[in-house]
Amino acid sequence: MHEHDVIVVGAGGAGLRAAIAAQEAGADAAIVSKLHPVRSHTGAAEGGINAALREADSWEDHAYDTMKGSDYLGDAPAVEALCKGSPEEVITLEHWGMPFSREEDGRVSQRPFGGLSFPRTTYAGAETGHQMLHAMYEQVVKRGITVYDEWHVMDLAVTDEEDPEDRTCYGVVAYDIASGEISGFRANDGVILATGGMGQVYDHTTNAVANTGDGVAMAYRAGVPMEDMEFIQFHPTTLPSTGVLISEGVRGEGGILYNAEGERFMFEHGYANNAGELASRDVVSRAELTEVNEGRGIEDEYVHLDMRHLGEERIIDRLENILHLAEDFEGADGLTEPMPVKPGQHYGMGGVETNEHGETCISGLYAVGECACASVHGANRLGGNALPELIVFGKRAGRHAAGDDLGEAEIPTGKTGEYEMADYEFETELGELGGTSPAAADGGAVVTDPETVLSAAVQRAEAYVEELMDRRGRNHAEIRSAVQKTMTQHVNVFREEPGLKQALEDIQEAREAYKDVAVSDPSRTYNTDLIHTMETRNLLDIAEALTMGALARKEFRGAHWRKENQIRDDEEWLKHTMVSWNDGEPELWYKPVILEGENKTYEPKVRSY
Amino acid sequence: MSTQVPEQPEESTESAAETETQIPSKGDARREEKRRRAAERRAQKQAEEAERAAADEDTIELKVFRYDPEVEGKQEPRFDTFHVPFTKGMTVLDALMYARDTYDSSLTFRHSCRQAICGSDAMFVNGSQKLACKTQISELQEPIRVEPLPHAEVTKDLVIEMEHFYEQMHAVEPYFQTNELPDGELEEQRQSRENREKIKMSTRCIWCSACMSSCNIAAGDNEYLGPAAINKAYRFAMDEREGEDIKQKRLEIIEQEHGVWRCQTQFSCTEVCPKDIPLTEHIQELKREAVKNNLKFW
Ligand SMILES: Cc1cc2nc3c(=O)[nH]c(=O)nc-3n(C[C@H](O)[C@H](O)[C@H](O)COP(=O)(O)OP(=O)(O)OC[C@H]3O[C@@H](n4cnc5c(N)ncnc54)[C@H](O)[C@@H]3O)c2cc1C
Ligand code: SF4
Ligand code: FES
């Protein structure tokens, strides 16, 4: 067993920042991560970090833009914490040596980004995330913070009181990928989840293979609700074979979208007569899919993004990295042919419910970064707002876990504030089907001794692995791919009732199949078959909760579009979707959005630009 | 909503210090070279595609190295052959994933981002160090031989022990150090565009260890810092924000017995680096800096 004051799960931008903050606040912090830190997907971010750094800008303007972008589903206390904290955090990164792009006078550059009223996006070339991740990992090395890398966290050690709000988290259980050893990690002061996105719920995504939403699923099964999971941002220009993102820059420079008939469909089919290719991400994504669905796609799958008319000179000057991406990952030469593109899952706005300090309703358990939902992005994330979230909330949670006083939080967690139960009847059976649950409550007397809670969790994990290894049965890959397919088909940018219901049925079928899942690689050494099998279980829980929210929410808000009601319905739906595991019988409920900020209330306005 | 993201124009200002290295207008030369290589590759690709169509080949043959210290039958290293249906744009990583998910779920390799940024999947493909996710199948001769990176201990199949590489990276104090932080809390340190441009390539390293694997010197001297670690030292030593005293300390580190002087300028690291980092040039420049600083020779 290992023991530290603060255990951080995950080593992307959010986890690294949390560990550094906890250590600076005097705690012995350690990081447990299934990937070595520099392999984390934060490295893939290209665009930039929003921060109101300049005289002419203000955190208030940033907060206003963010609330508007969120389609009024962001919680003002979290949004304001983000916007107030970001400038200091960005400057801290600069002081840690991060090589930002610079102005003539040597100060860090900022550029305009969609949905922002001021050019406040700080960046480092087209590799902002890479530079940010490495600058922070360097600080972790400098400070000698312990990193357990290639340890896959399987479960949380949480007490099992009836109400999740009464439970406490005492640590985590992790599996050493290299050796197959299972070990408990006792956290004296807190566990911080920073496990990143869940893009692998879809079969086409800009997210990494490791982005399987583990933290969200673990917290969920331990009793923390998932919040606003149905809000998924899709990016309209990703390469069909891998999901690699082709940035908006191509369209910004004048790139044109064509269908199989050579029509400039954004105009010719009237999707966006003014903005054309520059319409918002969701509009362009829906337009592309409509083209494909109506038979005007290329190979029934994608459309073309053409930049040849910009000329070789300009392309090489401004979009050289795009040429490399298209060539390396799609085998397409952007100078001589149009590039194939289609919409892909990009970002999950929802996640583990937290308050503005990163705390969940389980005491001692925190979540930060893409896996968390504070919520700063609400129904739609503005480009450049995820990276500042990592550093602002990473730091807040790290400090709080280490005992720093951040004041009283304003956002209630769990069922401690105002809430209402959903009156939606799901036709499909949901949740656990009597399969193996690493976090299944056993119904006995409540155990509260930390050591006992942790060792029980270790034993459960050992039994689970043993069972998966011993059993004969199906491979996880087909189950994973079935879930990904149905999600991509039915829970994408187009959502309508029959499809969503179908998806829930398919997920249930996949759960059924998962009951016979088995690992065929008998080795304890670097068994990725086993790791992927464990991840697949997490994908099932997430896909289900996400689809439940999408089915119940009959309105069009931010990234969530429903055919049956294509308008934003503030009367009925100005509220957060919550899904609780409820010991295996998922339940849907809602809590109000907080629109009251420090000095003002954000009145919902039409989200037009 | 306008989601337009104007791309920053390529920052191509050459720094004074770089001109000192007496390779005039290197940026232009590099771009020219890139263009030429791209044209060559295009021609080659077209020829190959024609050939492929003629042979009506739609599956590819992979020969993959297998080893597992624990599993009977895999303790002796061997090669397994997989036939994978070819699709346009397919990379070596795609092919491996297909083989694993379709034929043998115990086939083991590191991978995550699929976009050449996480540095997980450097392998030995047809005899050279490559990132599997960044290597198009269409550019390779068949059968495609996929092996773990040479000169490292094999953990299992294509997975190698990375600990030694990480240790070397950590050995050069790979973190920013300065005594010159501005007073104002929200004030950044200034850095000229030229200086940022100078360190730009060196900051692109993704810790894939392809360079280390390709290096003869590193193969013979286990303590040699290796190209990536020296490049990391370069990244900080050349950053004007660090200040002279710290630069001095950095030069001492890379000047040690197993440091820059071991490099015999064979360029193998530069050739394999998937991020196009001019490693050998960086090492050479550090040597010159060290001499300039009148530090002692080993
Ligand atoms: C292509 C792309 C471009 C983007 N561009 C931008 C941009 O320009 N600006 C912006 O603001 N945002 C951008 N985003 C979004 C942003 O990059 C991500 O939301 C953010 O980096 C996520 O960081 P994270 O620290 O939460 O997670 P990650 O960086 O994904 O890290 C997750 C960590 O958790 C670990 N982990 C996961 N599961 C487990 C487990 N079971 N056990 C142990 N460890 C585990 C992993 O090893 C990893 O270290 C982009 C995203 C993508 C995909
Ligand atoms: S220098 Fe290049 S080859 Fe070496 S580790 Fe870095 S990215 Fe890989
Ligand atoms: S999978 Fe990340 S570099 Fe290839």
Spatial distance between the Cα atoms of A560 and A494, rounded to a whole number of angstroms: 8
Tell whether A116 and A214 lie within a shared domain: yes
Closest residue, chain B, to A241 (C-alpha): B89
Using CB atoms, pick whichever of B8, B45, B118 lies closest to residue A125: B8
Q: Residue B39: pLDDT above 80?
A: no
Using CB atoms, pick whichever of A44, A99, A525 lies closest to residue B69: A525
pLDDT at B183: 85
Pocket test for ligand 3, best of B100, B114, B158, B209 (most atoms within 8 A of CB): B114
pLDDT at A479: 97
In total, chain A counts a number of residues equal to 609
Pick from B253, B249, B255, B254: nearest CA to B179: B249
Give the model's confidence band at B6: pLDDT under 50 very low, under 70 low, under 90 confident, else very high.
Answer: very low
Distance B238 CA to ligand 3 centre (A): 28
Pick from B297, B117, B200, B100: nearest CA to A324: B117
Q: Residue B114: pLDDT above 60?
A: yes
Tell whether A107 and A19 lie within a shared domain: yes
Tell whether A400 and A463 lie within a shared domain: no
Tell whether A147 and A65 lie within a shared domain: yes
Beta-bridge mates of residue A341: A303
Query: What is the count of structural domains for chain A?
Result: 3
A116 alpha carbon, distance to own chain's centre: 21
Q: Residue B25: pLDDT above 80?
A: no
* Domain membership of residue A497 as a residue range: 450-570
Mean pLDDT for all residues in chain B = 85
Ligand 2 contacts CB of residue B201 (under 6 A)? no
Pick from A257, A255, A238: nearest CA to A315: A255
A544 alpha carbon, distance to own chain's centre: 16
- Mean pLDDT of the region A451-465: 97
Between β-strands B78-85 and A226-227, what pairing exists: parallel, antiparallel or unpaired? unpaired
Render pLDDT for A346-399 as a digit per residue (tens, 0 to 9): 999 999 999 999 999 999 999 999 999 999 999 999 999 999 999 999 999 999
Give the model's confidence band at B53: pLDDT under 50 very low, under 70 low, under 90 confident, else very high.
Answer: very low
Enumerate the H helices of B57-207 as residue ranges: 92-102, 163-170, 193-200
* Catalytic residue, candidates A251, A281, A495, A553: A281
pLDDT at B15: 33
pLDDT at A522: 94
> CB within 8 A of A303, min separation 6: which ones?
A257, A258, A259, A260, A265, A288, A291, A292, A297, A340, A341, A342
Distances (CA, A) of B158 to A480, B145, B248: 23, 12, 40
- Mean pLDDT of the region A430-435: 72
Q: Is residue A594 part of a domain?
A: no
pLDDT at B12: 34
- Indicate the helix (H) or strand (E) that contains A400: helix A386-401
Enumerate the H helices of A409-475 as residue ranges: 450-470
pLDDT at B280: 97
Tell whether A40 and A170 lie within a shared domain: yes
CB contact B164 to A (< 8 Å): no
Closest residue, chain A, to B180 (C-alpha): A95
Q: Is residue A589 part of a domain?
A: no
Enumerate residues lining ligand 1, CB below 6 A: A 9-15, 32-35, 40-42, 44-48, 128-129, 152-153, 194-197, 206-207, 210-211, 214, 245, 347, 369-371, 383-387, 390
Spatial distance between the Cα atoms of A305 and B90, rounded to a whole number of angstroms: 19
Tell whether A223 and A273 lie within a shared domain: no
pLDDT at B4: 37
Tell whether A244 and A136 lie within a shared domain: no
Greater model confidence, B197 or B36 = B197
pLDDT at A431: 92
- 3-class SS letters over A248-295: CHHHHCCCEEECCCCCCHHHHCCCCCCCHHHCCHHHHHHHHHHHHHCC
pLDDT at A283: 87
Q: Residue B138: pLDDT above 50?
A: yes
Give the model's confidence band at A248: pLDDT under 50 very low, under 70 low, under 90 confident, else very high.
Answer: confident
Q: Of all residues in chain A, what percent carry a pLDDT higher than 90? A: 88
Look up A472 and say whether it is catalytic: no
- Domain containing residue A267: CATH number: 3.90.700.10
Maximal C-alpha separation, chain A = 72
- Domain containing residue A534: CATH number: 1.20.58.100
Q: Is residue A597 part of a domain?
A: no
Q: Is residue A442 part of a domain?
A: no
Identify residue A178 by its one-letter amino acid code: A
- Mean pLDDT of the region B67-88: 94
Using CB atoms, pick whichever of B3, B89, B176 lies closest to residue A96: B176
Tell whether A78 and A184 lie within a shared domain: yes
Ligand 3 contacts CB of residue B113 (under 6 A)? yes
Render pLDDT for A520-562 as a digit per residue (tens, 0 to 9): 999 999 999 999 999 999 999 999 999 999 999 999 999 999 9
Using CB atoms, pick whichever of B113, B186, B196 lies closest to residue A44: B113
Spatial distance between the Cα atoms of A303 and B5, rounded to a whole number of angstroms: 21
Give the model's confidence band at B295: pLDDT under 50 very low, under 70 low, under 90 confident, else very high.
Answer: low
- Mean pLDDT of the region A17-30: 98
Render pLDDT for A261-295 as a digit per residue (tens, 0 to 9): 999 999 999 999 988 998 888 889 999 999 999 99
Q: Is residue A438 part of a domain?
A: no
Q: Is residue A461 part of a domain?
A: yes
Ligand lying closest to the C-alpha of residue A125: 1
Q: What is the DSSP code (8-state) at residue A517?
A: B
- Mean pLDDT of the region A237-265: 92
Render pLDDT for A540-551 as a digit per residue (tens, 0 to 9): 999 999 999 999
A284 alpha carbon, distance to own chain's centre: 21
User: How close is the nearest chain A Cα to the Cα of B191, in Å?
Assistant: 5
Ligand lying closest to the C-alpha of residue A244: 1
Tell whether A211 and A312 lie within a shared domain: no
Render pLDDT for A131-146 as a digit per residue (tens, 0 to 9): 999 999 999 999 999 9
CB contact under 8 A, B200 and A131: no
* Structural domains of chain B, with CATH: 55-159 (3.10.20.30), 162-179+191-294 (1.10.1060.10)
Tell whether A207 and A336 lie within a shared domain: no
Give the model's confidence band at A435: pLDDT under 50 very low, under 70 low, under 90 confident, else very high.
Answer: very low
User: How close is the nearest chain A Cα to the Cα of B176, in Å?
Assistant: 5
pLDDT at B100: 97
Q: Residue A52: pLDDT above 90?
A: yes
CB contact under 8 A, B203 and A529: no
Spatial distance between the Cα atoms of A545 and A201, rounded to a whole number of angstroms: 11
**Does residue B143 have a cis peptide bond before it, meaning omega lies within 30 degrees of 0?**
yes
Q: Is residue A578 part of a domain?
A: no
Tell whether A50 and A153 lie within a shared domain: yes
CB contact under 8 A, A141 and B175: yes
ipTM of the complex in this document:
0.94
Render pLDDT for A162-193 as a digit per residue (tens, 0 to 9): 999 999 999 999 999 999 999 999 999 999 99
Q: What is the CB neighbour count within 10 angstroms for residue B297?
A: 7
Q: Where a domain ends, among A373, A403, A421?
A: A421
Tell whether A84 and A194 lie within a shared domain: yes
- Mean pLDDT of the region B42-55: 51
CB contact B168 to A (< 8 Å): no
Place of tokens 């199906």: A474
Closest residue, chain B, to A322 (C-alpha): B7
Q: Of all residues in chain A, what percent carry a pLDDT higher than 70? A: 98
pLDDT at A434: 54
pLDDT at A563: 95
pLDDT at A375: 93
Spatial distance between the Cα atoms of A64 and A83, rounded to a whole number of angstroms: 10
- Domain containing residue A31: CATH number: 3.50.50.60
